[in-house]
């Protein structure tokens, strides 16, 4: 495990270094001034322009200091201080994409809050203690300010300040991959979260999520499904009007379309529902590597524990350095001693040298709020105990999901100021529309009517096409930016000419080079014998999924065993692909698994 830990640190360093180098050397297209999309954004921008000195100080101050400063200014009797507080709130909302969590009063330290210890003393508490009258006055004053700049707040001791977006193109989105063993309750949990109706204990909630007839018959997911949950400006989930109905026919009939949800939502959580059966591991792997999820939600059945494919999925998430959230389901039907054993097992695995995460059991709204902001940075693993029949723990999970930072905020993965790069993850042929592709903008921006290059094809060439229309969550939009998942209708392109793993780039005289051979630093996680030259395996690298052959390895013996690391030269078997230095790769064949990073294109 020490070798794996060291190797992961090294490949993360290589990835960061290559991304920084590519962003420095690639000619950057000047970003055009875009129309401000958010409601009240002009008011905010004017306020932000007035307080240049405030912005400078805010960028270096801790968030808790910002909260304290706002409170002190609002409690002051000087009217000019109230105006300064107005400008600071407008400023932080602008720079946080219309969403900010403001804490009023004194709050316990994370260590006590996450451990569940009783707050017997005030040692280590953050913030200044306030009286009940001061808290009430601050709530009212902040609510009024946020309303003035076009938003709403969630009135609690911890306030959620959120601006409703003008349209779907500017709605923040969080992508979560849902994994777990067979019969752990993945689809049921998603059905309850997104439909609002509790399960009957016999799988009623999951039927509406299945896409194929054989899934309904077997009760098992075999494909990558996508579900969305919308949250309004006040943080309340957007659910169908029949959310509390117990009639199966009503539940199946009365569903909210994605366009209805996105029209009301100020934030969208997209769930990538992945298969749990070992037979569909290839599909699950592709969903994890191509979907760029912000976190992995690992579903563990309380009655069975962390078994089978759950461990495999956890290992993949850790290898890809994706933050993990654990949901222990079926707590209503599990005997207390079995539940305690499962909780102990989850805690032990999370603390093990391979995971190195601290489990945080979320049993209050305040814990859900705080852990949502820091769990990825502080190597924490939130653990929720859920019952889809009684509804236990679901409110805490919804609060957590509502406050997760948007996926497009990750500037390490996505850069708006770089040239266009769009990865294709799905392809359809739509009647009267033509070829439609779905995927993620890794960098740059795109708008309707743009001329782009699509490729590489089997010969490594790119073809010219035009973006006819763009949809986000099945709602038409005119533009898209880095980090967003959108569907594009392409002009004069046959479906047969498009495959998963292709990219779209802006039209230019020098298209990107298609790569057939490359080198990578790899670590063999498991192989029952030895790996030699000409060994073939399925490689997953972003949206690319293709069989590769090992041409060379720098190991002294010319063979690789479990735990060995080496610089390996790979070759794509079928056709060249668009890949870049610094991209992480996973390869597998049967039970053989390897992890690595691309270091050189040949």
Q: Is 344 found in the same domain as 461?
A: no
Shared domain check, 225 and 289: yes
The answer to whether residues 319 and 377 touch, using CB atoms and an 8 Å cutoff, is no
Cβ(540)–Cβ(555) under 8 Å?
A: no
Q: Does the pLDDT of residue 107 top 80, yes or no?
A: no
Q: Which residues contact 406 (CB under 8 A, 6 or more apart)?
A: 97, 99, 172, 173, 174, 267, 483
CB proximity list for 183: less than 8 A, separation 6 or greater? 276, 301, 304
Q: Is the dihedral of CA 91, 93, 95, 98 positive or negative?
A: negative
Residue 576's pLDDT band (cuts 50, 70, 90) = very high
CA–CA separation, 515 and 575 (whole Å): 9
Instruction: Residue count of the chain, please give it.
Output: 602
Residue 168 lies inside a defined structural domain of this protein: no
Which of 122, 142, 163 lies at the terminal end of a domain, its last residue? 163
- Is residue 412, in this structure, part of any structural domain at all? no
pTM over 0.85? The answer is: no
- Establish if 130 belongs to a structural domain: yes
CATH code for the domain of 590: 2.40.30.10
pLDDT at position 452 is 95
CA separation for the pair 110, 384 (Å, rounded): 17
Percent of the chain with pLDDT over 90: 35
Domain boundary among 466, 488, 506: 506
In a domain, 33, yes or no: no
CATH assignment at residue 212: 3.40.50.300
Lowest mean pLDDT among 315-324, 478-487, 531-540: 315-324
Q: Which of 506, 535, 552 is the last residue of a domain?
A: 506
Structure confidence by residue, pLDDT tens digits, 130-178: 888 888 888 888 888 877 766 654 444 577 888 888 888 889 999 999 9
390 and 471 assigned to the same domain = no
Q: Please write the tens of the pLDDT for every residue from 48-78.
A: 444 434 433 343 345 568 888 888 888 888 8
Distance CA 500, CA 467 (A): 18
d(CA 472, CA 448): 13
pLDDT for res 60: 33
- How many structural domains is the chain composed of? 4
Residue 9's domain spans which residues?
A: 2-25+515-601
Outline where DSSP puts E strands in 149-280. Answer: 152-154, 158-162, 173-180, 225-231, 237-238, 267-273
pLDDT digit string, tens, across residues 188-201: 888 888 888 787 66
Q: Are residues 204 and 340 both part of a single domain?
A: yes
Looking at the structure, do residues 466 and 381 belong to the same domain, yes or no? no
CB–CB of 185/220 below 8 Å? no
Residue of higher predicted confidence among 341 and 127:
341
Rg of the chain over Cα atoms, rounded to whole angstroms, equals 25
- Same-domain pairing of 453 and 393: no
- Give the tokens for residue 484: 């967003």
């Amino acid at each position: 495990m020490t070798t794996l830990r060291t190797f992961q640190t090294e490949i993360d360093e290589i990835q960061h270094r290559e991304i920084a180098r590519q962003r420095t050397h690639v000619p950057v297209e000047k970003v055009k001034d875009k129309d401000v999309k958010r409601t009240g954004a002009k008011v905010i921008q004017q306020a932000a322009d007035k307080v240049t000195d405030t912005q400078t100080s805010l960028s270096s101050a801790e968030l808790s200091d910002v909260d304290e400063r706002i409170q002190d200014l609002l409690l002051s009797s000087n009217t000019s201080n109230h105006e300064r507080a107005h400008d600071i709130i407008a400023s932080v909302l602008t720079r946080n994409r219309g969403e900010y969590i403001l804490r009023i009063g004194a709050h316990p330290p994370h260590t006590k809050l996450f451990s569940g210890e009783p707050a017997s003393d005030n040692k280590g508490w953050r913030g200044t203690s306030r009286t009940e009258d001061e808290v009430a006055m601050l709530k009212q004053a902040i609510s009024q300010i946020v309303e003035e700049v076009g938003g709403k707040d969630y009135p609690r001791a911890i306030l959620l300040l959120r601006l409703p977006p003008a349209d779907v193109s500017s709605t923040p989105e969080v992508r979560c991959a849902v994994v777990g063993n067979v019969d752990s309750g993945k689809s049921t949990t998603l059905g309850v979260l997104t439909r609002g109706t509790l399960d009957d204990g016999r799988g009623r909630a999951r039927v509406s999520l299945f896409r194929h007839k054989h899934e309904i018959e077997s009760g098992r997911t075999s494909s990558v499904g996508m579900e969305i949950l919308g949250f309004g400006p006040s943080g309340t989930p957007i659910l169908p009007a029949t959310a509390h109905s117990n009639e199966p026919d009503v539940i199946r009939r009365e569903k909210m379309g994605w366009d209805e949800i996105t029209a009301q939502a100020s934030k969208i959580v997209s769930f990538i529902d992945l298969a749990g059966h070992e037979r569909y591991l290839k599909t699950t792997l592709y969903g994890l590597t191509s979907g760029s999820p912000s976190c992995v939600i690992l579903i563990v059945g309380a009655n069975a524990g962390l078994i089978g494919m759950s461990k495999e999925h956890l290992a993949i998430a850790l290898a890809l350095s994706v933050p993990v959230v654990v949901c222990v389901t079926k707590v209503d039907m599990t005997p207390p001693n079995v539940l305690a054993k499962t909780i102990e097992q989850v805690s032990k695995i999370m603390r093990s040298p391979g995971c190195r995460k601290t489990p945080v059991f979320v049993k209050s709204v305040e814990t859900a709020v705080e852990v949502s902001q820091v769990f990825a940075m502080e190597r924490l693993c939130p653990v929720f105990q859920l019952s889809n029949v009684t509804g236990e723990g679901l409110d805490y999970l919804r609060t957590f999901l509502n406050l997760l930072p948007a996926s497009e905020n990750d500037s390490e993965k996505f850069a708006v100021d770089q040239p266009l790069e769009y990865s294709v993850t799905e392809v359809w042929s739509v009647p009267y529309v033509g070829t439609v592709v779905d995927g993620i903008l890794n960098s740059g921006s795109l708008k309707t009517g743009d001329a782009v290059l699509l490729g590489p094809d089997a010969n490594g060439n790119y073809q010219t096409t035009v973006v006819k229309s763009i949809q986000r969550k099945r709602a038409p939009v005119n533009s898209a930016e880095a980090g967003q998942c959108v569907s594009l209708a392409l002009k004069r392109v046959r479906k047969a000419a498009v495959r998963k793993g292709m990219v779209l780039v802006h039209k230019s005289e020098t298209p990107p080079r298609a790569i057939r051979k490359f080198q990578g630093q790899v670590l063999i996680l498991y192989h029952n014998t030895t790996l030699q030259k000409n060994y073939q395996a399925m490689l997953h690298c972003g949206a690319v999924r293709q069989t590769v052959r090992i041409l060379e390895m720098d190991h002294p013996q010319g063979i690789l065993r479990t735990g060995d690391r080496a610089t390996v030269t790979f070759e794509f078997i079928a056709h060249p692909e668009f890949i870049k230095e610094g991209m992480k790769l996973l390869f597998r064949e049967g039970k053989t698994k390897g992890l690595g990073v691309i270091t050189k294109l040949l």
